[in-house]
A and B are shown apart, each in its own frame.
Chain A
């Protein structure tokens, strides 16, 4: 058992072979150990030994250091874990006991020590406090021996084992297992637990029976169990309410298997296909139509339907059912914009100090196609006498026509050279590159500016201008633009001096492109569809018609041709468009306006034809392109010859009448068809049919309204007048004399009842016939000098301009305000109505005049008659009284008769004359 103690320690080191036994001992020791721990301190009196734990010979002791020193068992010096054992002599212990008595550590084991048989006692160092103290005393010799032996044997065994280990590598000696007694290690308890035992004693039954009854035959019978009571007990099932289990969870196994299926289908592919159908409508043949028409059914149908249709048509006749009153109302409202909206806003003004010094602007024309280009002609501001005086001298500055563009107000764009002062000019409506002008000496001048056309078009996008540019102009054009001199275009042709006017040409106009005139004055259709004819008038009492096409030239000798060629070579920049006309141009028709009674002729200043080509709509670019294609041929005017009258179709509906305003303030209405004089056979012009002397001064403007072809405005002297063609009694409207001379007038292009009058003091009067007819609705001061020309223009839908030129050479361009340029919805109708009213009034006035004249005559006759007839003698008084009495009697008789006839009174009641 003491072996066990040691073996438990050494068994850890030693191999298993020798440790089996020790292990068995260990088990017992371990179990006893467990019990030992529970033991508290024992009494000192009581046996201190470890008997309670199975080791009566072990006595745990505490050795103090003093004791250790005395017995040379100092911890870690004399006695270590390795070397535990200390043999102490019994005599020493007894001596210690005597010396220290109770203090000695051996005091508790005094008895043991005294009774110890041997000489030496073994004290073992208990480092692990196995027995509770750091030392323990072994009381018996046997235990001492055992303890002492064991470590030795263990050591020896260890050594042996080590040696054995080394040895067995080479040679293994088989040792058959040695039978050993079974040592219980506690497993029998488990076995016991597991084994099945009868917990209850088995019941024995002994059943006996008489032997002879064995083997006897047996009969079985059936018996119903339910017949006998209590023969069976059944246990029916019932739902026990106290016991119910809800299946809250269920374990279900599932397996996911992908199901793969293959399927296919065939579809019809639809694709777009072009298909066409041709069809024709069903139609009746003629016979079928006849048949249907005559059928009875149709007759019935017509009779039944006719009434409805008639009603509907009548309704339409009476009034327009679908008229939108609301819309019409709104438009009227907006037209009353207010007076302040009527104005002319200054847009730009053009003047050039170089060319326009001391000059006046005689005529202004807008370019028909290109936006923002305006041309003006400048003439010397000299009176007639001054001109005559200066005529001998050479004028330093040639007269020019200047072209201005909105983009550059300081430098004119182009200059047209003029042989003399140009008093009037006009762009050809069909080809704006052809310009015709009338000179002061009576010649007609033609220009062709085709080569500058591009420049004019690009002027809009010039670099230095106000508008933005996107065009990269080549450098030389830029240089020219920025240069000082605008390009000078020479004129193409002038008319022959002998056949031109003898006086200044005051008005020149192009004939519209849809008709042309021959020598007789009859109108024909214009196949060329371009403007080829002009009409000019001049105070030399004549009106001339010109044709710019080449007439059949007689065959010329070669030398002349060569000369011509040479001349042409000398002037290279001379456009050859009209060289066929140059200096040989003769007018087509010459009309002399002669007064009927005197030999003095009229001196026309302005002419107004009924048929006019109006530029007044926004330029239609498509049209102009077409025209340009027509003129693409070089010098078409030369090639186109005047066709003979037989080929062309005569146009009947062109009016050949015209109005003329004269120098003396008269308005003359005449016809340009030439008559053949019966006597001489020559063509003479017709006498004018009407003349009216309205104006007190020279008539500056005779202009037809752009809206009404038979309404003419004439401005001259100190007043203006509105005429209607066909009304021969006089103007339908005549203004009162104004304080200042009127110099120009022009209808507004967009509003039928509005026109502009320019005055001598530089103001412009804006007249609105619908607003006021006795005074202008608005006037505006434009410049300080006399207004010489007014030209309105529609540049775009939003921009309506008015070009006003004055005497000092400045050209003002004004913008017409919205209200002034946009008519109200029914303005046209209102103005027309107004004119008609005026005409009616005029007629009425005439009638009244006639009536009054008649009346006057009658009254005079009456007065005369009264004078001549003798007066009757006066009757005497008595005779008069008698006469009265007789009258009274007559009256009473009559009264009586009537009352009797009526039956109101009886004969006797009336106081008759016979009773009196």
Chain B
């Protein structure tokens, strides 16, 4: 409980944005609702697709982490069961 929340706080405190998602619906987020909802929907689908890709190649395999690097920032997604943890970070110089 306390340990988990502390861990979350640690992530939250950096200069990044973060959201917690289940079933494509955001539970907790550090930025505004509309953006969160958009990210949630899109990334949920992408994660599903990525996972199915990995499992198609080898059924014993599973997706552990997804990183999308774009010009402006980096999106990191950690899926597990039905939850998703999404972190968006500005790339370091």
Contacts and interface: CB of A to CB of B under 8 A. Distances in A.
Interface of A: 281-284, 289, 292-293, 297-299, 301-306, 308-310, 312-313, 316-317, 319-320, 322
Q: Would you list the 10 A-B pairs with minimal beta carbon distance, nearest first? A: A305-B78, A281-B37, A301-B83, A306-B7, A302-B4, A301-B80, A292-B27, A282-B25, A305-B85, A322-B69
The range of chain B's interface size is: 35 or more
B92 A282 contact: no
B87 interface: yes
Given A316-B74, A316-B92, 7 more contacts: A284-B25, A297-B81, A301-B81, A306-B7, A310-B11, A319-B92, A322-B69
B4 A299 contact: yes
Contacts of B4: 299, 302-303, 306
B52 interface: no
Given A309-B85, A317-B92, A322-B69, A281 B41 contact: yes
A304 B25 CA distance: 20
B87 A302 contact: no
A371 to B, nearest CB: 32
B37 A283 contact: yes
B8 to A, nearest CB: 7
B59 interface: no
B81 to A, nearest CB: 6
A313 B91 contact: no
B80 A304 contact: yes
A302 B28 CA distance: 13
Contacts of B40: 281
Contacts of B41: 281
24 contacts: A281-B41, A282-B25, A289-B27, A292-B22, A293-B28, A299-B1, A301-B80, A301-B83, A301-B85, A302-B85, A305-B80, A305-B83, A305-B85, A306-B7, A306-B11, A308-B64, A309-B11, A312-B76, A312-B87, A313-B11, A313-B16, A313-B89, A316-B91, A320-B91
Interface in B5-31: 7-8, 11, 14, 16, 20, 22-28
A284 B25 CA distance: 7
Contacts of B16: 313
A298 B85 CA distance: 11
A825 to B, nearest CB: 13
B67 interface: yes
A292 B22 CA distance: 9
Among A293, A309, A310, chain B packs the most CB atoms within 10 A around the CB of: A309
Interface string B63-87: 0110101000010101011010101
A443 B39 CA distance: 62
A312 B8 CA distance: 15
Given A284-B25, A293-B28, A309 B78 contact: yes
B93 interface: yes
Contacts of A322: 69, 91
A48 B76 CA distance: 146
B78 A308 contact: yes
Contacts of A316: 74, 89, 91-92
Nearest to B38: A281
A676 to B, nearest CB: 42
B24 A312 contact: no
Contacts of A317: 92
Contacts of A299: 1, 4
A269 to B, nearest CB: 35
A313 B65 contact: no
Given A281-B41, A289-B27, A308-B64, A313 B78 contact: no
Nearest to A290: B27
B81 A302 contact: no
Contacts of A308: 64-65, 78
Contacts of A283: 25-26, 33, 37
A540 B63 CA distance: 76
A302 B7 contact: yes
A309 B76 contact: yes
Given A283-B37, A297-B81, A302-B8, A309 B91 contact: no
Contacts of A319: 92
Given A289-B28, A302-B7, A313 B80 contact: no
A376 B39 CA distance: 57
B91 to A, nearest CB: 6
A309 B25 contact: no
A297 B1 contact: no
Contact of A284 (B27, B80, B89): B27
A293 B74 CA distance: 26
Given A284-B27, A303-B4, A312 B67 contact: yes
Among A281, A292, A317, chain B packs the most CB atoms within 10 A around the CB of: A281
Contacts of B85: 301-302, 305, 309
Contacts of B76: 309, 312-313
Nearest to B18: A309
A707 B64 CA distance: 45
Contacts of A281: 25, 37, 40-41
B77 to A, nearest CB: 9
A320 B91 CA distance: 7
A281 B11 CA distance: 26
Contacts of B20: 298
A382 B27 CA distance: 79
Contacts of B87: 309, 312-313
A665 to B, nearest CB: 41
B76 to A, nearest CB: 5
A755 to B, nearest CB: 27
Contacts of B81: 297, 301
A408 to B, nearest CB: 46
A293 B1 CA distance: 10
A322 B91 CA distance: 9
A324 B78 CA distance: 26
A777 B11 CA distance: 50
Nearest to B40: A281
A299 B2 CA distance: 10
Contacts of A282: 23-25
Nearest to B93: A320
A316 B78 CA distance: 16
A297 B69 contact: no
Nearest to A320: B92
Contacts of B33: 283
Contacts of B83: 297-298, 301, 305
Contacts of A298: 20, 22, 27, 83
Nearest to A309: B78
A298 to B, nearest CB: 7
Nearest to A298: B83
Contacts of A313: 11, 14, 16, 76, 87, 89
Contacts of B25: 281-284
Nearest to B28: A293
Among B8, B28, B83, chain A packs the most CB atoms within 10 A around the CB of: B83
Contacts of B74: 316
Contacts of B37: 281, 283
A318 to B, nearest CB: 9
Among B14, B78, B91, chain A packs the most CB atoms within 10 A around the CB of: B78
Nearest to B34: A281
Interface string B32-46: 010001001100000
Contacts of A305: 78, 80, 83, 85
A360 B37 CA distance: 67
A654 to B, nearest CB: 26
B50 to A, nearest CB: 15
A305 B76 CA distance: 12
